[in-house]
């Protein structure tokens, strides 16, 4: 199982991470996906890959919560290519799960007002 994610910090800098395995922790301390944000808990959330290939996100009792596509995570939720995860001021875009690529153009377009990637800026039409 291969998962490709984009991790965006509040200042607009980002990095691409390739995850290979079945279990990943996200947070500030000793996590497989370290997050440098004081609004994230030490061990904030986890991503688990099930035997059937489904990928799930779980909040681990974080102080500020975990959000999936703008909604607070209240229970384990399946994540898919194109989903957006927010932990504190960190936004993670799920760019690919097992070869299924997101339609988002990674790191190429940004909002002229905020400097953030366009997929993170709400569209008001």
Question: Are the CB atoms for 39 and 91 separated by under 8 Å?
Answer: no
Grouped pLDDT means (10 residues each) for the chain, 125 residues? 88 88 94 94 96 95 96 96 95 86 49 53 43
- Taking the C-alpha atoms of residue 105 and residue 1, their distance in angstroms, rounded to an integer, is 22
pTM of this prediction exceeds 0.85: no
Structure tokens at 61: 């009792």
Task: Write down the pLDDT at residue 9.
Answer: 87
Measured torsion, CA atoms of residues 114, 116, 117, 118, in degrees rounded to the nearest 10: -30
pLDDT score recorded for residue 104: 47
Q: CA 57 to CA 69: how far, in whole Å?
A: 12
Helix (H, G, I), strand (E, B) or coil at 118: helix
What is the predicted pLDDT for the residue at 46? 97
Distance CA 8, CA 109 (A): 13
Can you read off the two tokens belonging to residue 55? 């990928």
pLDDT at 114: 54
């Amino acid at each position: 199982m291969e998962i490709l994610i984009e991790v965006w910090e509040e200042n607009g800098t980002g990095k691409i991470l390739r995850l290979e395995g079945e279990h990943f922790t996200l947070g500030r301390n000793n996590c497989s996906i370290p997050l440098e944000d004081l609004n994230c808990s030490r061990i904030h959330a986890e991503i688990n890959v099930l035997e059937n290939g489904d990928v799930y996100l779980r909040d681990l009792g974080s102080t500020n919560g975990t959000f999936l596509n703008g909604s607070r995570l209240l229970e384990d939720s399946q994540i898919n290519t194109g989903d957006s995860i927010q932990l504190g001021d960190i936004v993670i875009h799920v760019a690919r799960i097992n070869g299924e690529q997101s339609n988002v153009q990674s790191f190429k377009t940004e909002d002229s007002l905020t400097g953030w990637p366009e997929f993170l800026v709400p569209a008001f039409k």
